[in-house]
Structure 1
């Protein structure tokens, strides 16, 4: 015979169904979610603001902050290279009987540097690397001619080193032509010696005339100045011959 146990009934304090009183557990250490207020966004004002923005203008500068690209000088002029002046001086040297000395009153180094690099390039095509020798000889030749002229002119001499280097460099144009012509001539022949003598006289005549006409008190010593120029360009012709 089974024994019966008296179990007291379970009484809930709030009453009702015990399934309705059960709550879901919350995750531990879960911070409360803050309430974010709703922010309205006006599409019309944003479109108006985007259309009011204009792209920068590169052709001019209406704001007045400086000159535009159209008003800027060319790059060669900013570097001090005047191509028209170099061309005019080159054309004047090509005619040894009509040399315009007024074109050479303002000395520059762009044309001489171009002729010296051309001379070295033609020598390189002939198998001779003479870039350093050419630049060194031109520097020493300018210093030599500057000292000789000012010693002859005395205190009244007005030849500066800058103009002297410019004149010697521009008068290197016949030597450049000789260096280019020597590429098609046999080395050590009579023809190249005759052409070298002709081009040396050409450079000497032009350089001596420009020095006498541009510098003061040089007309009295024209022969000595021409002899100094002859020695300078003879050295450069020897580079071409040998």
Structure 2
């Protein structure tokens, strides 16, 4: 029978310390694991960023001019070819110039010519320059297609040649900012610029068509077109 006077603590083992019955603090361990995971993540990101295979894609992107298809070195080479009247129609530079239908240079030359006319006090605006340029390219394209049956004559090729050969007139318009062209000296310089432009353009068109016998015939409409730009520059 149960003895009411019996000490109730005798059923408990008092030799075991009470601290062993305390609950385990898993929160601190979980926090420790989280810290280790965060540290491991930082170390792995640093190793991945230092690896040669993890180079950012932005550094490997080409320059903006290259993405737009603008080659400044090629524009300079074509400009030098235009200003060199001693090159024959069969040289390597002329052949490369003809088959590379670049329109970046002509656009830059048209903008430069319109800006020079504006600063020199001329009455012509940007619309006049681009209007005559587009009309002249279309008329020259039709004329060259009537003169030959080759398939190399395209509108972009005609526009590229006419635009690059406009460079002497652009130089004349830049000269008009500093001196007046409405005098005998200016008229002579204008005539020289027109002859220079028409002879350069006819040389490139002959190389494009492959017929050297038509150079004088091609130079005549080119002289008329560049004469219009010359008149815009002077007046």
Structure 1 length normalisation: TM-score? 0.75
Higher mean C-alpha deviation, range 190-199 or range 84-93: 84-93
The CA deviation at 1:224 is 1.5
Distance 1:70 1:175, change over 3 A: same
Give, in whole Å, the separation in 1 of the partners of 2:120 and 2:49: 53
Partner of 1:199: 193
**By percentage of residues, which structure has more helix?**
2
Is contact 2:95-2:207 (8 Å) kept? no
Partner of 1:47: 35
What is the aligned-residue RMSD (CA, Å)? 2.4
Give, in whole Å, the separation in 2 of the partners of 1:145 and 1:222: 14
The CA deviation at 1:161 is 0.5
Question: Which of 196, 219, 222 is matched with 2:212 structurally?
Answer: 219
Q: Of the two structures, which has the highest relative contact order with CA contacts closer than 8 Å and spacing of 6 or more?
A: 2
Question: Which of 75, 98, 103 is matched with 2:96 structurally?
Answer: 103
Work out whether 1:135 is the aligned partner of 2:104: no
The CA deviation at 1:58 is 9.9
Map Cα deviations across residues 94-113 of structure 1 (whole Å, 9 max, x no partner): 22223631231211111111
Question: Which of 88, 93, 98 is matched with 2:82 structurally?
Answer: 93
Distance 1:211 1:130, change over 3 A: same
Please identify the structure whose Cα radius of gyration is greater.
1
Work out whether 1:161 is the aligned partner of 2:161: no
Map Cα deviations across residues 21-70 of structure 1 (whole Å, 9 max, x no partner): xxxxxxxxxxxxxxxxx98243321221221222684996549xxx8233
Partner of 1:78: 67
